[in-house]
Amino acid sequence: MVCSRCKMVVKSVFENMGIIPLSVELGVVELENDIQEAEKQELLKSLRGFGFDLIDDKKSKTIDKIKTLIIDVVQNKNNDLKINLSDYISQELHQDYNTLSNLFSEVENTTIEKYFMNQKIEKVKELIIYDELSLSEIAYSLNYSSVSHLSNQFKKITGFSPTYFKNLKSIKRRQIEDL
């Protein structure tokens, strides 16, 4: 779950089944009591209808937590992060970063760093399309060292310069969950 609308949809799916969640946050729904297997299957079916899934095993939960932390950093606090991403993830999950990194790479076939870069580039695309900020303001807001650094990374990942991308109206952004 990435946005408030996602959280609202998930919450309503639970409530429609008569399950009142204590809280619904990015990637986590807290319940007062465990649910029965039959309820879980019905819930899974309803959630999948909206493009969501239930995550039960420990590896998948850890991967989901890493992705949620990265998405939250990019969407909400990229410029406020005063420590390295690796230190932040390690502190938040109370695990050694090398262990988390190896698990992520094994399961996702990409590194945490590449996933983070892809998330940032998708955010850059969004901000370019909105056309409210200059490239310099975008670079600053996403904690790039310079416009040149942002442009080089953008071109490396998309194959286009930010300016060329801005002029292409036919390119569609990828959904966050497809990264």
pLDDT tens, position by position, 19-76? 888 888 767 788 888 888 888 889 888 888 888 877 767 888 899 999 999 999 998 8
Last residue of a domain, one of 29, 49, 69: 49
Q: What distances in angstroms separate CA 16 from CA 9, 10, 13, 121, 152, one per listed residue?
A: 10, 10, 5, 36, 47
Residues 121, 172, single domain; the answer is yes
Q: What is the pLDDT of residue 66?
A: 95
Give me the domain span that covers residue 89.
58-114
Higher pLDDT, 1 or 90: 90
Any idea which of 97-106, 116-125, 140-149, 167-176 has the lowest mean pLDDT? 167-176
| Number of domains observed in the structure of the chain | 3
Kind and range of the H or E element at 98? Answer: helix 97-108
Q: What is the pLDDT of residue 176?
A: 66
Q: What is the pLDDT of residue 59?
A: 85
23 beta partners: 30
Any idea which of 6-15, 51-60, 122-131 has the lowest mean pLDDT? 51-60
Largest CA distance in the chain: 54
Residues 108, 125, single domain; the answer is no
d(CA 121, CA 65): 20
Q: How confident is the model at residue 79 (pLDDT cuts 50, 70, 90)?
A: low
Any idea which of 2-6, 37-41, 114-118, 159-163 has the lowest mean pLDDT? 2-6
Q: What is the pLDDT of residue 173?
A: 61
Quick check: 115 and 67 in contact, CB under 8 A? Answer: yes
Residue-wise pLDDT tens digits, 143-174: 899 999 999 999 999 999 998 988 886 556 66
Residues 90, 123, single domain; the answer is no
Q: What is the pLDDT of residue 2?
A: 53
Residues 31, 12, single domain; the answer is yes
Residues 99, 125, single domain; the answer is no
Q: How confident is the model at residue 1 (pLDDT cuts 50, 70, 90)?
A: very low
- 57 token code pair: 């095993």
Q: Which residues, other chains included, contact 27 with Cβ-Cβ below 8 Å and sequence gap of 6+? A: 1, 55, 64, 65, 67, 68
Residues 96, 146, single domain; the answer is no
Q: What is the pLDDT of residue 10?
A: 87
Residues 119, 102, single domain; the answer is no
Q: Which residues, other chains included, contact 98 with Cβ-Cβ below 8 Å and sequence gap of 6+? A: none
Residues 28, 69, single domain; the answer is no
Residues 126, 174, single domain; the answer is yes
CATH number at residue 127: 1.10.10.60
Q: What distances in angstroms separate CA 111 from CA 21, 31, 86, 101, 142, one per listed residue?
A: 33, 32, 12, 7, 20
Q: What is the pLDDT of residue 40?
A: 85
Residues 87, 131, single domain; the answer is no
